[in-house]
Chains A and B, each alone.
Chain A
Amino acid sequence: SQTIHQWPATLVQPVGSPLSLECTVEGTSNPNLYWYRQAAGRGLQLLFYSVGIGQISSEVPQNLSASRPQDRQFILSSKKLLLSDSGFYLCAWRRAGELFFGEGSRLTVL
């Protein structure tokens, strides 16, 4: 069966520090992968999606970047965090038109 893992689950970082959130999918190959951000009271916003290794599409201009160094690995990064980067980050993969989400990573920027 397929599973999706995200880490770390919780992260507290100072403004200006770097960020790396990792997402790994198991049990499938060449999945479409997505990063969403959930800010309080603002629903889910699609940040990036990837249809293959090294292929990243950005949905909104922002302080974040994404990379896909391996088929089943999707990384969300920032060189310098802003207060506005705080939120709940969700990784997802797609199968048969459905999205399957990881457990999320809660980022607090102080």
Chain B
Amino acid sequence: AQSVTQLGSHVSVSEGALVLLRCNYSSSVPPYLFWYVQYPNQGLQLLLKYTSAATLVKGINGFEAEFKKSETSFHLTKPSAHMSDAAEYFCAVRGQGAGGTSYGKLTFGQGTILTVHP
């Protein structure tokens, strides 16, 4: 079974400041990990994903995340926040090697709302 915990339901940063959104996972098998972004009243868009290749994953819009097995973490970062980054961000996990039974189901965290101040 897999689970995801996102630390902090709300994060507020100033424009130009570092963005750090925290995600810790629990998985009984090696995980695939994802970050999605959701703008108001829209569906979810994939930012980046970890699939057991490089531990530092680069995504769209300048975001990146680092997989740390020892810490069971997959935190999302961006060096300099833009006003357009204001949205809700979701971390998600799926177990590797269980495709036959997992059917691609993702388990999502509770989400973190990012606010960017001028």
Chain A interface (Cβ within 8 Å of chain B)? 6, 32, 34, 36, 41-44, 46, 49, 51, 57, 59, 88, 90, 92, 94, 97-104, 106
Chain B residue contacts of A59, Cβ below 8 A: 105
**A57, B103: Cα distance in complex, Å:** 10
* Cβ distance B28 to chain A, nearest Cβ, rounded Å: 18
Query: Chain A residues with Cβ under 8 A from B41's Cβ?
Result: 88, 104, 106
- B90 in complex: contacting residue of A44, A92, A102, A104, CB < 8 Å: A44
Determine if B108 and A44 form an interchain contact, defined as CB atoms under 8 angstroms apart.
yes
Given contacts A43-B109, A99-B44, 5 further A-B contacts (CB under 8 A): A32-B104, A34-B105, A43-B110, A97-B104, A98-B34
Q: Is residue B70 contacting chain A, with contact meaning CB distance below 8 A?
A: no
Q: State A49–B99 Cα separation when bound (angstroms).
A: 14
Residues of chain A contacted by B111 (CB below 8 angstroms): 43-44
Within 8 A of A (CB), among B36-55: 36, 41-46, 49, 51
CB-CB under 8 A from A41, the residues of chain B are 9, 110
Residues of B within 8 A of A99 (CB): 34, 44, 46, 104, 106
Kindly state the separation between the CA atoms of A46 and B44 in the bound complex, as whole angstroms.
Answer: 14
Asked if A43 meets B90 with Cβ closer than 8 Å, knowing A32-B103, A94-B104, A98-B34, the reply is yes
Which residue from B32, B44, B104, B109 sits with its C-beta under 8 Å from A101?
B44
Residues of B within 8 A of A (CB): 9, 32, 34, 36, 41-46, 49, 51, 90, 94, 103-111
- Are A90 and B109 closer than 8 Å at their CB atoms? no
CB distance B43 to A98 under 8 Å?
no
**Within 8 Å CB of A103, what residues of B?**
42-43
Counting from the closest, the 8 A-B pairs by CB-CB distance are: A101-B43, A43-B110, A44-B108, A94-B104, A101-B44, A103-B43, A43-B108, A104-B43
